[in-house]
Structure 1
């Protein structure tokens, strides 16, 4: 309400009315400076008690301030945002100093409509981005800390449990197919905010978070694809499987991810494979299998088949490492059903064991892990491939002990240990054929390190030979 002037002058407008007028756009005016001055001079204890229009006026002011600080072409990096941050700090510190108790929803009632806008500002300018500067980042971080204190929340995640829907409501208009690239901050705010919400709070927002995540992941820029896939992965991990299966959502996710496997981008392939491995349990519900019918293939089979097709001719080291890094998880998931893929898997294992992979030898270590798992799960089919695997392992061991590159000794030791484990497993599943064949190798081998490896295999296999052992 306007206050009467005892000297007979026109009544002073209510504070909420002055806030609304300050938000009006006029050429040459800086609403951030004017609003900061108003908020600094406000009598907050009285306003919070008496001004019924204050909540909506504060929301309007917060919306105007966010628009003023929004990144865009031709705007100075963080300059306007720093002034907007100062205005938000005046507001939050004034309400905090008034000592008003938080309501049932956490925040003081007058501040609730403005809080989502303040959070979006903090999420836009708090992290180090091209559109921010040091002053803007500091103001955003202080504003967020003050907002969390007023809400009685120890973290952003706790705050968003009650405000996620409101924040999504602010972001939704900017997340359409036509508008999501207009503001470079929108995708990052959406991704960061989404990752703060976990089970069981995320599933109720599925209809609003899935379309933007798919939209971002379907972009032509690799950076956006990866960001979108990370959003999809978070959804897969934090939404119940039943909700993902409903309306065929899981299949939509699978096809969107599968298409990315044709792009030769290691970081994207890594993000996609990690997401798919967590999506398979949703897609592949336990089936009642009845012999003698063959077990049906599933999405995991299809993805592994495509990976192996890509792996065999691949010569780029980063992609080779990415594929090899994820291969053990596929063998572990398929188990005995890996036998379906042995024809493709065998040349991949042999080929990757032959190629030096740099000082860390990540690809060869992961291929050795894959071979171990393959032997463990598919042991009835291994004896017919014994000679091929044995030759590849012995060749790798010989190449390794003669290696004069910069490969650190701990890496060489790890490779030798993994190769030894594979040889032992081969011996067990072939009823001792490996130790018999190695006995012939000992007679012609002159390298002490190779001999040490062979002795270890024979000792750990529980079999010894007369030839120099």
Structure 2
């Protein structure tokens, strides 16, 4: 952190008195804020001095003055707003830097910074907690509203094991989150984000607003923690709260999933999956969103990473019902080939020559779920196959008997496979048909299906 000579001289001046007029306190915090905004990691002595001054300033300030609104002059913005800007500067100061091109991570100083910032946030939250119990200070809600979002982002950045954290920084970040939830009277992070009563609208929109400038194509990799903050926060919010934020959460999720790194692809797909299962189908179908999701996911099926394929297939299985509803609304003419069939065909095509065991197992483990999703087509497929058998049996053209026999055998085999896929449903339907059928060739095929279903295993391998 680097300050010019004039600022260094002013910094060496005595700290402001514990009790002073609001403008004096605002000016003191403004000076700290200015110093934080000019920080450089190499100037550790200056940094430590500024943080020490800020700590002393917080400790000395009276709660009613600390959270008081703007003073009489137009230039005085009010302490809550200044505190919010200080919290923003501190959160930025503790954030991990962009990964270096030479392979270095530059994270060695981050844990210590995070601990220092975390301790300052704990002091500020302690002041809020004190103000809550004081009848003379009613402005703490305004102050907390300016602080809460930045403190939350800080806590989620550092509370879990990451390349930029240490056990000490994780502990402090966890304490900040716990105290933040206590001060806001929330029993969980989900409650903090969504609200826990009718009067509390939650803070999810506020957090998304803080993350938005860092979640575009040009900036989302400048801070390696941003993707984790967004993903983890998103997955704390479920229906019915999520759909109202769809326009804010869908683009970043697609952006992360479209990255060249497999780790980011998987993270983005997990975000998309959470959206699919927590947003009503009507909202996903609107503006062709479901189709956009499908094409983004389908493209990943050409990648050879089994973890990614697993995440994509799980998401697609939950997206298929949404796509089916969209086709239903467009009319029967649009239902010739479903998306599920398209994906299943690709899986089988890729699986047949696949020699990598983990990838092949991933394909195979998901086949039963896909077979279950085709289940609604049993009657349609059964009618088509029976019509084929009847047509071949009654054919009086010059078709050779060998060709007819081969067609009948193939159609019969398809009926047997369909019966396996539908857990014996075909056999039940055929039992009624065989009683009234007078064509001996058709009856013979049906008998083979019934016998083949009885002898063969009842699951597809």
1:376 aligned onto 2:424: yes
How do 1:414-453 residues align onto structure 2 when only pairs under 5 Å count?
430-432=449-451
1:65 aligned onto 2:75: no
User: 2:278 corresponds to which residue?
Assistant: 238
**Alignment deviations for residues 72-117 of structure 1 (CA, whole Å, 9 cap, x no partner):** 1534141101100000001001211233489xxx972221011100
Matching residue within 226, 248, 251 for 2:291: 251
1:74 aligned onto 2:99: no
1:50/1:176 Cα in 2 relative to 1: closer, same or farther (>3 Å)?
A: closer
Contact map agreement 1:101 1:108 (CA 8 A) in 2: no
1:211/1:132 Cα in 2 relative to 1: closer, same or farther (>3 Å)?
A: same
User: 1:168 corresponds to which residue?
Assistant: 208
SS at match of 1:180: coil
SS at match of 1:108: helix
Shift of 1:296: 1.5
User: 1:123 corresponds to which residue?
Assistant: 156
1:164/1:12 Cα in 2 relative to 1: closer, same or farther (>3 Å)?
A: closer
CA distance in 2, matches of 1:311, 1:107: 61
User: 2:168 corresponds to which residue?
Assistant: 135
CA distance in 2, matches of 1:12, 1:47: 8
User: 2:28 corresponds to which residue?
Assistant: 18
SS at match of 1:94: helix
CA distance in 1, matches of 2:140, 2:240: 22
Pairwise CA RMSD of aligned residues? 3.5
TM-score by length of 2: 0.70
CA distance in 2, matches of 1:12, 1:151: 25
How do 1:57-456 residues align onto structure 2 when only pairs under 5 Å count?
57-72=82-97, 73-75=105-107, 76-100=109-133, 108-161=141-194, 162-285=202-325, 287=328, 296-335=336-375, 337=377, 372-377=420-425, 379=427, 430-432=449-451
Contact map agreement 1:124 1:185 (CA 8 A) in 2: yes
User: 1:421 corresponds to which residue?
Assistant: none
Contact map agreement 2:181 2:187 (CA 8 A) in 1: yes
SS at match of 2:203: helix
CA distance in 2, matches of 1:284, 1:17: 61
CA distance in 2, matches of 1:191, 1:140: 18
Contact map agreement 1:32 1:68 (CA 8 A) in 2: no
Contact map agreement 1:47 1:54 (CA 8 A) in 2: yes
User: 2:52 corresponds to which residue?
Assistant: 33
**Alignment deviations for residues 23-46 of structure 1 (CA, whole Å, 9 cap, x no partner):** 113564224333222112222245
Shift of 1:54: 1.6
1:55 aligned onto 2:55: no
CA distance in 2, matches of 1:289, 1:174: 38
Number of residue-to-residue matches in the alignment: 358
Shift of 1:294: 11
User: 1:463 corresponds to which residue?
Assistant: none
Structure 2 unmatched ranges of 5 or more: 1-19, 72-77, 98-104, 195-201, 386-416, 432-445
Shift of 1:11: 7.2
Contact map agreement 1:202 1:238 (CA 8 A) in 2: yes
Shift of 1:288: 9.1
CA distance in 1, matches of 2:320, 2:150: 38
Structure 1 unmatched ranges of 5 or more: 1-9, 344-368, 384-426, 439-452, 458-469
CA distance in 1, matches of 2:227, 2:334: 45
